[in-house]
Structure 1
């Protein structure tokens, strides 16, 4: 079955997907914060739907007209390694570029914290066109956060 990317909000689907990803989202408070962001109109929200079921989500936050942040990208483990994350990122990038945005950033756990799931996350972001910019301790959590950026075609 084909995956369709659509604009929409679903805090319950975000909760279900994040709970299925304990290696990345094991903190209940963080999950609650992402669920709230999914319902917050200040965040853009795209859903990846397959056979009527939401299998992925991308939340964005436009900080300035020229730049935005990929606040959350999550794909249910049953849909991993099938291109769902890439579809979401490419749709986010296309939509933002069409609206005049030039730069997209994303934060993830930095490489100085050795963790295989996050090593895979960093590799994924590189494959979809993000470049590491800088690593900071204590930015998004008590450990290192890596900021990656991607230029958007206009």
Structure 2
């Protein structure tokens, strides 16, 4: 099966895809990242008692800012007017994990998967920056798109932890 790469010209050079002929639709994307640390560090995060301060509001704003600037940091992304960006956190003290989940929405001609991934990555990196004084060995894993809606390729979602589907 021969696939034409949308961001590569016939001469092999990269270019920005022409989206001017695409239909404007509502588009969403959800993404996640997981910060693995120690249970006591999760307690410090949730109690806003880290040496650098309250990590979650800082990480939330960092994620929102990153989504808005995705087109400036990922070379072939289009600037997209974003209608909604959320950054949420799910702590599991026993497992020593903090799950970061982002949601990005737009009404436009191209999807927002990269914006959701930029937001979640930057939020997780900000959490790491805020906790490294107490756990420099923390690890960020499982950065991925969870769900996408809108556009010609349709809607899809992956199973999340605890799903029986």
TM-score by length of 2: 0.33
Greater helix share, structure number: 1
TM-score by length of 1: 0.35
RCO comparison, higher one (Cα < 8 Å, 6+): 2
Structure number with greater Rg is 2
Greater strand share, structure number: 1
